Chain A
C-alpha cells in the first residue's frame, strides 16, 4: 500500500500548490484591480483615515485634514465654502468625493506617481504615506468680487461667474450660486452626512450644481460674437460691411418674423460693428442665414462647442456646450443669435471671450496651478496648452474693436472702467413666456493687453421681467471682477 500513499502525497502536494498559486493570484496579481473596485470599502476606509493633503488658494488652505480622535483619525475641513465649495467639492464617506477632491484624489491621497519618492521615504520611515497639496489658479480677490456681485442681486439669485487668464487659460475666478457647505457632507456623523446629502440633492435650487460648467444654457446675444467671428473669418464681411437693420426679418419657410429687442437698430442697413454694439437680432439673423448653419457650426466648434470629451480643467466635469448640426429653414437665423438649439456653459462663453482676447487662440482652461509634495516642494506646475485657434489674429483684432464699441457706444456701458479700455458683449436669452430670461455678459480687459476674460451668467434673480438685461444685471459684476484682477 506504500505506492498509493506516495502517489497520494504527490496529489496532496498538488492541491496545496494550487492553493498557494491561487492566493498569490488574489493577493498579488489581481490585488490592484480588486482594490480599485468602487465597492471595496476597506480601501475607502483607509483613504478616509489618511492625512490628506490640503487644497490651497494663494497659499491658504481652503480644504484640509485636521486630526480627530474618532475612528477615522482625520476630519476634512472646508473654509470659505460659499466661495470655494464648487471647486474643492467634498470628500465624504457617504457620498464619495467630487470636483478637485475627486480629480486630484491621487495627489491629495499621496498615491500619485509624482509623489513616489515621498512615498518610499515614508515607507522606510514607517510613516503613513502623506498626501501632496494642490494650489488652485484662483485669484482670491477676483473670486470674492464675483461672489459679492452675485450676492448683491436681489432675492435668492442663481448664476455663475467665470474669469480666465486669456494667454494661459488659468481660471482666475469660478463662482456658482447657490452654493453649499461641503463640511456637512464630510461629517463623520454618517447619518447626519447622509441626511445633508439627501436634502442637498432634493433642494429645488440645486445647490450642488456648479452652474459654471455642469449645465449649459441658451447663450442668447453673447453668441453673436461667434456669429460675427464666422462672418469675418469667411472673408465676406468686414466690421464695416452693411447688414440689414430694420425692425423685422422675414424667415424662410416660416410664417414667423425675427424682431429686434431694441429700436435703435434703425430702419435701414447698418454696419456689422453697429449691429454688434446694439445687438440687433435682425442683422445677425440675416448674417446667419447668409453664412449657413454649417459655417456657424464650424466656428462654434473652433471655440470649443460640441467637444465630446473635455479633457481640460484638470479632470473637473464640464458638460458639453452644443451647436446643432441640423438647422432647416429659419433655424440658422435663431442659432445665429444664440437661441433655439444652441447652449453654452458660462465657462464656454468665457473661453469665447478669452480666445478673442488671446489673438484668436483659445487656451485650455486649467484650475490646478501647482502640485506640491507633503514637504511643500513644487513637483508639478501647470503647463498652459493651446486648445484651438478659433480665429486669425486679424479677425481677433477686428472683433476686439467691435467689442470695445459695444462698451463705448452700445449695450455694455455698465462694464466701462475708468482709464481702461474694455471689450464686452451683453446677452439676454429668452426661455419662454413664463420663465424669466437669462442675463449674460462676456468681456475682457484691457482691450489692448488683455489680462482677464469674464463670463457672467444670471439664471434667476428677483427682478421684474422687463428690467432683466445682460448689461444691467450682469455687467456690473463683470466689471468688478475685471477691476479686481487689473488692480493688482
Chain B
C-alpha cells in the first residue's frame, strides 16, 4: 500500500498509512495463547485436571477476541495494531486468575464463582467496544457533546449518593444497584470527564495559557484564570468527602491538571495543581479517619496485622511468589481478601512471580505509550487532548492501584484495568480502547484524495470520494 493524497509539507516525515491488521492478528493469537494458556495451566496446577468450563469460558473468550478484531478490521482498519492484543492478553490473564481463585473460594466460602460473571462482563465490554467503533465514526463529533457529557459525568458521580439505588460497599459510596445489577458509575464518568476536559480546554486554552507572574523561571497562571482548576479541585474533594473514594478523587484531579498542562503548555499549571493537591491531601489527612488509616497502613502495616490484614497478606503473597512465582494454581492468593478484584495484582505476582508482574506492568506501560503516541500523531487539538487524557487516566489508575497494593503509595480503592473482577471497570476500559483506536484510525488513515474538478473553473469545488 502506498501513500496517496497531498504531499506532506517539507520537514515533516511522510507517514505511510498501513493497515497492519495482519500484525494485529498475529499479536492477538499470541495474546490468546497467553490468556487461554494461563486459564488451562492454572487449573492444571491446582487440581491436575483440564478445566471443565474450558469450552464455555475460554471458547467464549476467544470468540469475543475474534469479534473485536473483526470489528476493528471493518470499522477502524487503520487503527493501532498493538492495543487490542495487549488488552485481550490482560483481560485473558485476569479471567484466568479469577477462575483460579474461584477454585479456592468455592471450596471454602460462599463467595464466587466470579469467572462466569466476568465472561459475561467481557462480552458486554466487547459489545460496548464494537458499538463505540460503529456509532462514533469520527472522534471529533464528540466535541459537540462537551458540556452534555460534562453534565452527565456529574450526574453519574452523584448517583451513588442518592437513596434507594446508591450503595455503600466497603466504606466507599460509589455503587448503584438497579435490580440485580451493580455498577460503579464513576468508571463511566471518568471517560465523560476526559471528553469534557478535552472539549473545554481546547476552546479555553488560549486564555488559560496567558502568562501571569513569573516565579523561579516558571510562568504562573493569572489569578483570574484559576476558576476552572479550583472547581475541579472542589469536585475532587467532594468525591473524597461524600463518596470516600480516595482513588477516584486523585484520578479526576490529576487528569484535569495534566490536560491543562498539555493544552496550555504551561508548567505553571502543574505547580498550581501540585500545591492544590498537597493542600487537599493535607486537609483529607487531618479530617478523615479513613485517610489516616490508609496512610498508617502504608507506612507501617505490620504495626497492626489485623487492621491492615489485606495489605499485609498481599505483601506476603508477593514475597512468597518471589522471582519466578509459585506457578499458576500453586500459590495461596485467596488468603488475601479481594484477591480477585482490588488485589488481583498481588495474586498474579504471587503465582507468576516478579518476572510475571513486571511483564504485566510493562504491558500497561505499552498501552499508555501507544495511547500517547496516538495523541502525538493526532492532527486535531481535541483528538490530541482526548487521546492524551485517556492514556494518562490509564497510567494514573494503574500507578495508583498497583502502587497501592505493592505499598509504594497508600492504598486506594481503584480497580486494576482489565484484570480485576468487576463489570463497570471492564466495560469502561473497553470503551476507552475503542476511543483510542477510533482516534488512531482517524490519524493514520490516508488523507482523502482531493480532485479538482476543472482547473479553469471560476469557483473551486472540492469533491470528496
The verdict on A4 contacting B265 (CB below 8 Å), with A24-B354, A42-B320 known, is yes
Residue of B nearest to A13 (CB): B365
Least CB distance from B388 to A in Å reads 5
The minimal Cβ–Cβ distance linking B401 to chain A, given in whole angstroms, is 10
> What is the CB-to-nearest-CB distance from A191 to chain B, in angstroms, rounded to a whole number?
14
Does B146 sit at the interface, judged by CB under 8 A?
Answer: no
Q: A2-32: contact bitstring with B at CB < 8 Å (1 yes, 0 no)?
A: 1111101100110110111011101110111
Chain A residues near B361: list those with CB within 8 A: 16, 19-20, 23
Q: Which residue of B lies closest to A30 (CB)?
A: B319
B318 at the interface (CB under 8 A from A): yes
The answer on a CB contact under 8 Å between A16 and B365 is yes
What is the distance, in angstroms, from A21's C-beta to the closest C-beta of chain B?
Answer: 9
Interface size on B, residues (CB 8 A): 50
Contacting residues, chain B, for A26 (C-beta < 8 A): 315, 318-319, 406-407
| Nearest B-chain residue to A37, judged by Cβ | B316
B114 at the interface (CB under 8 A from A): no
Assembly CA distance A282 to B406 (angstroms): 72
Residues of chain B lying within 8 A (CB to CB) of residue A1: 262-263, 265, 381, 384-385, 388
User: Contact at B332–A16, with CB atoms within 8 Å?
Assistant: no
Smallest Cβ distance from B116 to chain A, in angstroms?
A: 25
Q: Which residue of B lies closest to A4 (CB)?
A: B262
A450 to B65, alpha carbons, bound, how many Å?
Answer: 83
A202: interface (CB < 8 Å): no
Can you list, as one digit per residue, whether each of A159-178 has a CB less than 8 Å from chain B (1) or not (0)?
00000000000000000000
- The stretch that binds A, out of B21-29, B86-94, B367-375, B436-444, is B367-375
Contacts of B312 in A (CB 8 A): 39
Given A13-B365, A37-B316, A42-B335, is A28 in contact with B323 using a C-beta cutoff of 8 Å? yes
Q: List CB contacts (< 8 Å) of B250-272 with chain A.
A: 258, 261-263, 265
The answer to whether B319 and A5 touch across the interface, beta carbons within 8 angstroms, is no
| B326-355 near A? 1/0 per residue, CB < 8 Å | 000001100100000000000001100110
Q: Which residues of B contact A30 (CB under 8 A)?
A: 319
Contact A40 B381 (CB under 8 A): no
A16 to B371, CA, bound (A): 15
Min CB distance A71 to B, Å, is 9
Q: Answer yes or no: A43 CB below 8 A from chain B CBs.
A: yes
**Interface assignment of B188: CB less than 8 Å from any CB of chain A:** no
Residues of A near B402 (CB, < 8 A) are 19, 23
Q: Which of B368-393 contact A (CB under 8 A)?
A: 368-369, 372, 375-376, 381, 384-385, 388, 391-392
Contact indicator B357/A23 (Cβ below 8 Å): yes
The distance in angstroms between the C-alpha atoms of A31 and B302, with both chains bound, is 15
Q: Does A41 contact B (CB under 8 A)?
A: yes
Q: Is the CB of A23 within 8 A of B406?
A: yes
- Which chain B residues in 268-316 approach chain A with CB under 8 Å? 302, 305, 312, 315-316
Q: State whether A15 and B395 are in contact (beta carbons under 8 Å apart), knowing that A22-B407, A23-B358, A39-B312 are contacts in the complex.
A: yes
Interface centre among A5, A19, A27 (most CB of B within 10 A): A27
* Nearest chain A CB to B409 CB, angstrom units: 9
> Taking the nearest CB of chain A, how far is it from the CB of B357, in angstroms?
5
State whether the Cβ of B199 lies closer than 8 Å to any Cβ in chain A: no
| Interface members, chain A 25-80 (any B CB < 8 Å) | 26-28, 30-35, 37, 39-43, 45-46
Q: How far is the CA of A13 from the CA of B372 in the complex (A)?
A: 11
B215 vs chain A, min Cβ distance (A): 19
User: From B377, which residue of chain A is reached at the shortest CB distance?
Assistant: A2
Q: Are A43 and B384 in contact (CB under 8 A)?
A: no
Q: Is B45 positioned at the interface, with any CB of A under 8 Å from its CB?
A: no
CB-CB under 8 A from B376, the residues of chain A are 2, 5-6
The reply to whether A22 and B365 form a contact with Cβ atoms under 8 Å apart is no
Answer whether residue B207 sits at the interface, using C-beta atoms and an 8 A cutoff: no
Bound form: Cα–Cα A60–B354 in Å: 43
B33 interfacial by beta-carbon distance below 8 Å: no
A35 touches B320 (CB 8 A): yes
Q: Does B408 contact A (CB under 8 A)?
A: yes
Determine how close the nearest CB of chain B comes to the CB of A119; give it in whole angstroms. Answer: 15
Complex-state Cα separation, A305 to B399, whole angstroms = 60
Given contacts A5-B372, A19-B361, A28-B322, contact A40 B354 (CB under 8 A): no
CB of B450 within 8 Å of the partner chain: no
Contact A12 B365 (CB under 8 A): yes
B422: A residues at CB distance < 8 A: none
Which residues from chain B contact A43 at a C-beta distance below 8 Å? 316, 320
Contact call B263/A27, Cβ cutoff below 8 A? no
Smallest CB-CB separation from B407: which chain A residue?
A26
What residues on A are CB-neighbors of B365 within 8 Å? 12-13, 16
Q: How far is the CB of A32 from chain B (nearest CB, A)?
A: 8
Assembled-state Cα–Cα distance A30/B350 (Å) = 14
Q: Which of B321, B350, B365 has the most CB of A within 10 A?
A: B365
Say if the beta carbon of B364 comes within 8 Å of chain A: yes
Q: How many Å from the CB of A17 to the closest CB on chain B? A: 9
**A113 to B161 CA separation, bound complex (whole angstroms):** 59
Flag if B403 contacts A22 (CB, 8 Å): yes
The proximity string for B residues 196-219 relative to A, scoring 1 for CB distances below 8 Å and 0 otherwise, is 000000000000000000000000
B408 touches A19 (CB 8 A): yes
CB distance from A46 to the nearest CB of B (A): 8
Residues from chain B with Cβ under 8 Å of A46 in the complex: 320
Nearest Cβ on chain B to A54's Cβ, whole angstroms:
26
The answer to the question of B317 belonging to the interface, with a C-beta cut-off of 8 Å to chain A, is yes
When distances are taken between beta carbons in the complex, the residues of chain A under 8 Å from B316 are 34-35, 37, 39-43
A27 and B332 form a contact (CB under 8 A): no
Interface 0/1 of B384-425, CB less than 8 Å to A: 110010011001101100110011100000000000000000
- Of the candidates B302, B320, B331, the one having the most CB atoms from chain A within 10 angstroms of its own CB is B320
Which B-chain residue is minimally distant from A35 (CB atoms)?
B319
Question: Do B403 and A27 touch (CB < 8 A)?
Answer: no
Q: B362 an interface residue at 8 Å Cβ cutoff?
A: yes
Name the A residues within 8 Å of B335 (CB-CB). 41-42
- In the complex, residue of chain A having the shortest beta-carbon distance to the beta carbon of B320: A42
Give chain A residues whose Cβ lies under 8 Å from the Cβ of B398: 16, 19
Does B395 lie within 8 Å of A12, measured CB to CB?
yes
Which of A6, A16, A39 sits near B364, CB closer than 8 Å?
A16
* CB–CB A9/B372 < 8 A: yes
Nearest residue, chain A, Cβ from B336: A42
Residues of B within 8 A of A35 (CB): 316, 319-320
B392 touches A27 (CB 8 A): no
Inter-subunit contact A4/B319 (CB<8 Å): no
Q: Chain B: which residue is nearest A12 at the CB level?
A: B395
B318 touches A23 (CB 8 A): yes
A335 and B281 alpha carbons, distance in the complex (Å):
68
B207: shortest Cβ distance to chain A, in Å?
16
Are A22 and B406 in contact (CB-based, < 8 A)?
yes
A39 near B265 with CB under 8 A, answer no
Chain B residues within an 8 Å CB radius of A13: 365
Min C-beta distance of A288 to chain B, whole Å: 52
CB distance from B346 to the nearest CB of A (A): 9
Whether A27 and B399, one on each chain, are in contact in the complex, defined by CB atoms closer than 8 angstroms, is no
Q: Contacts of B305 on A, CB cut-off 8 Å? A: 39
List the B side residues contacting A8 at CB < 8 Å: 258, 261-262, 372, 388, 392
Note all chain B residues with C-beta closer than 8 A to A12.
Answer: 365, 368-369, 372, 391-392, 395
A56 to B267, CA, bound (A): 73
With A22-B407, A22-B408, A41-B332: A5-B399 Cβ-Cβ less than 8 Å: no
Contact surface of B with A, Cβ cutoff 8 Å: 258, 261-263, 265, 302, 305, 312, 315-323, 331-332, 335, 349-350, 353-354, 357-358, 361-362, 364-365, 368-369, 372, 375-376, 381, 384-385, 388, 391-392, 395-396, 398-399, 402-403, 406-408
Sample 5 A-B pairs with CB under 8 A, ordered by A number.
A4-B261, A18-B408, A19-B408, A27-B349, A39-B316
The 8 closest A-B pairs by CB, nearest first: A34-B319, A31-B319, A27-B354, A22-B408, A42-B320, A16-B365, A4-B262, A12-B395
New A-B pairs, 15, CB < 8 Å, besides A16-B361, A19-B408: A1-B262, A4-B262, A8-B258, A8-B388, A8-B392, A9-B369, A12-B365, A12-B372, A18-B408, A19-B398, A23-B354, A27-B318, A28-B323, A41-B316, A42-B316
